[in-house]
Structure 1
C-alpha cells in the first residue's frame, strides 16, 4: 500500500455536504472514481453507485457521504438565527464553534445567559452571522438553510484531525480500494450513501435496489483509549475494528469471520468492536428484502460528531489493505 493521498483526503473532509444535500461531495467523488468504474450512476435518493463488474457474488460496500448539520428555524429582529439539529448534535460541543452555510456565510454559535452548564441545551444556542437586523440576516440566510461545522483540517505524520471524518474517511477508503484493487471475481457495488445521519435512509433504498449477497459498511467507531473513557476495547493506531455488534446490527458470523481470517492470514492488525450505542448503514442493509449477511469495518475515531474528529493514518491504511485482501477472494 502506497502512502495515502492526503490532498484528496483533505478535500473530501472539507467539502460542504450535510445530510439531505450531498451534491457537492457526490460530484467530487464521482469525478475521482469515474476512470475506475464499469458502471456509475446516481439513484433517486442521491446515492452514488459505482459498479466494478464480476461474475461472482454481488457485494455491496457502503460509506456515507453526509455529515451532521444545523438548520435555521427562525430569525429574530436583531438578526440572530435559531436552529434545529440534523443528526446527532451535542450542545456542549456546538457552543462557541464556527459554522458555514452553503453560500459561504460564516457564523459563530452563541448562548443565552445560563446559570449552569447543566442548563445548556440546543434551544439556548443561536447563530451569529454578524447581522444587525432581521432584514440584513435574511439577505444572506433563509429559514431551512443548513450550516455545518467549520474548522481547519490538521494532518501530521500519524493523525488527521477534522470535522466530517464521520464518514468521509469511509468514502475515502472506498475510493482507494477502487483505485488500488487489482482484480476480483466478485460483482462489487461501491455505494456512497446519503442521509445516514438521519436514519440510514440512503442505505435502505440502495440495499433494496441492488439486492446484494453480502454487504460491508465502512464507518467510524468510538474508542476507549482516552482518560477515564467509557470502557471499550478499541484504540487509535491498533488497526481496523471488526464490528461484532452495535444498536442496529449483530454482524453476521460469516462476514465477521471473513474479515478476521483475512487479517490473520495477511498479518494485518485488527481489533474487535462491540459498540453499545449508534449504528451504521449495515444496520439498514441487512434487513432489506429477505435479508443480507452484513458486517462493518470500523475506523477508530476520537471525538466523533465534533469539529475535531481524530483518526490514525495507519488505521486508515490497514483498513484499505484488509478490504482489498477480502475482496480479492471469491466471497
Structure 2
C-alpha cells in the first residue's frame, strides 16, 4: 500500500518533547497548527488542548493524548552523574546506553544512560536491574559542574531521533501517542471543508497526563460530555518471535470489544470498507483515556482505536506508516457513516 505519509507534519509533531505533566509548550504548538486549519482552540490549566465546540448541535469528540513517558532527575551525585526515577510505565531493561535529553530552563542537555557493565546479576530468568543501579552521564566531572546545567526535578526524555526501516516502518520514541496526534491532525485537515455541513460538531482534543492515570481526559470528559468520543491511542503489536501474532504492523488499526468500547460503534466501524484488525486487546478495561468518558460522562458512547506499535514505552518504538493512513481513513469514513 502507498501510505500517503506526510513526513513534514510527522516531524513537526514528533520533534517537540511533551513529557507527561509538562505538555504545555507542545500544546501551544499544536494549537497554532490547528488554527492554521481554521480550528480555534486553547490550552487549559490541566495542560489539555481542545478546539472550541459550539453547543448548537450534538458533539463528536476526537482525541489522542499529548504526553509521553519520561524520567526525572532525583539526585546529582558527587561525581556529577544524575540519578533518576521513571514517570510512567517504562521497561528499564531497554535503558542502558540510550541517548537522552535533560530539559532544563529551555535548554536541552544531552546525556547517556549508564550502569556498571561488570555488575551483572543474571539468573535463568534473565537480568535483574533497577533504576537505582543506573545513572545519566552528561559529561560532568563533579556535582558543582553538573548543577550549572541541570537541577533536581528536571525532566528527561529519550532523544528524538527517527530511523527509517524497511517496509515504510519507522523507529522513534513517543510513538505512544504522537501517532494518534498525527492522525488527529490529518483527520482535521481532511474534514475542514465539510465540517459545517455535518449534523454534529466535530471537535478535537489532546489530553494531558494520560501516562500517569488519564488525568487530563477526566477533565475533558466533564467539560465536553460529547455524544460520541473517539479515542486514538496505540496498541501492543504481537507480531514478533514468540508473540501471539494477532496484532500486526501494517494491517491497520485495532478494534476490539471491551468494557470501554460501545459495541454499536465497534460494529459500525467493523462494517466499513477500510483495512483494520479485530483483535483481543491488551486490556479489557481502563489503561487509556477511553475509561475517563465511561466514568465521567455516562451519556457518551466511546470508540477506542489502537495503532499497533512494537517496543511500547521504549526509546525506539516501531510503527508502520501504512497503519497511520488506514487509521485516518477509518475515522474519516466512520464520521461520514454516522452523519448519514
Q: Give yes or no for the alignment of 1:319 onto 2:323.
A: no
Q: By how many angstroms is 1:56 displaced? A: 4.0
Q: 1:273 aligns with which of 255, 261, 279?
A: 279
**What is the match of residue 247 of structure 2?**
234
Whole-Å Cα distance in 2 between the matches of residues 6 and 271 of structure 1? Answer: 24
Q: 2:156 aligns with which of 147, 157, 168?
A: 147
**What is the match of residue 79 of structure 2?**
78
Please tell me whether the aligned partners of residues 235 and 282 of structure 2 are also in contact (alpha carbons under 8 angstroms).
no
Between 1:312-321 and 1:289-298, the stretch displaced more is 289-298
Please tell me whether the aligned partners of residues 38 and 52 of structure 1 are also in contact (alpha carbons under 8 angstroms).
no
Q: Give yes or no for the alignment of 1:122 onto 2:126.
A: no
Whole-Å Cα distance in 2 between the matches of residues 54 and 235 of structure 1? Answer: 40
Please tell me whether the aligned partners of residues 38 and 53 of structure 1 are also in contact (alpha carbons under 8 angstroms).
no
- What TM-score, normalized by structure 2, do the two folds share? 0.89
Between 1:189-198 and 1:26-35, the stretch displaced more is 26-35
Q: By how many angstroms is 1:280 displaced? A: 1.3
Q: By how many angstroms is 1:329 displaced? A: 3.3
- What TM-score, normalized by structure 1, do the two folds share? 0.91
**What is the match of residue 169 of structure 2?**
159
Q: Give yes or no for the alignment of 1:177 onto 2:187.
A: yes
| CA deviation string 1:148-168 (max 9, x = no partner) | 011521236611211011101
Between 1:275-284 and 1:53-62, the stretch displaced more is 53-62
| CA deviation string 1:290-324 (max 9, x = no partner) | 35221211111111111211111111101101111
Please tell me whether the aligned partners of residues 51 and 187 of structure 1 are also in contact (alpha carbons under 8 angstroms).
no
Q: By how many angstroms is 1:51 displaced? A: 3.9
Q: By how many angstroms is 1:271 displaced? A: 0.6
Please tell me whether the aligned partners of residues 64 and 231 of structure 2 are also in contact (alpha carbons under 8 angstroms).
yes
**What is the match of residue 303 of structure 1?**
311
1:228 is paired with a residue whose SS is: coil
Q: How does 1:14-93 map to 2 (within 5 A)?
A: 14-51=15-52, 56-93=57-94
Q: By how many angstroms is 1:54 displaced? A: 8.2
Please tell me whether the aligned partners of residues 54 and 185 of structure 1 are also in contact (alpha carbons under 8 angstroms).
no
- Tell me, which stretches of 5 or more residues in structure 2 are unaligned? none
Whole-Å Cα distance in 2 between the matches of residues 227 and 279 of structure 1? Answer: 25
**What is the match of residue 243 of structure 1?**
256
Whole-Å Cα distance in 1 between the matches of residues 337 and 95 of structure 2? Answer: 44
Whole-Å Cα distance in 1 between the matches of residues 179 and 17 of structure 2? Answer: 15
1:329 is paired with a residue whose SS is: helix
**What is the match of residue 100 of structure 1?**
101
Whole-Å Cα distance in 2 between the matches of residues 56 and 300 of structure 1? Answer: 33
Q: By how many angstroms is 1:58 displaced? A: 1.2
2:108 is paired with a residue whose SS is: coil
2:257 is paired with a residue whose SS is: strand
**What is the match of residue 191 of structure 1?**
205
Whole-Å Cα distance in 2 between the matches of residues 204 and 273 of structure 1? Answer: 27
Over 3 Å counting, the alpha-carbon distance change for 1:254 and 1:54 in structure 2 is: farther
RMSD of aligned C-alpha atoms? Answer: 2.0
Between 1:66-75 and 1:48-57, the stretch displaced more is 48-57
Q: By how many angstroms is 1:139 displaced? A: 0.8
1:21 is paired with a residue whose SS is: coil
Equivalent residue pairs, number? 323
Please tell me whether the aligned partners of residues 218 and 299 of structure 1 are also in contact (alpha carbons under 8 angstroms).
yes
Whole-Å Cα distance in 1 between the matches of residues 235 and 3 of structure 2? Answer: 25
Q: 1:209 aligns with which of 223, 234, 245?
A: 223
| CA deviation string 1:23-78 (max 9, x = no partner) | 23212211211033443111220111024658543112110111110000111111
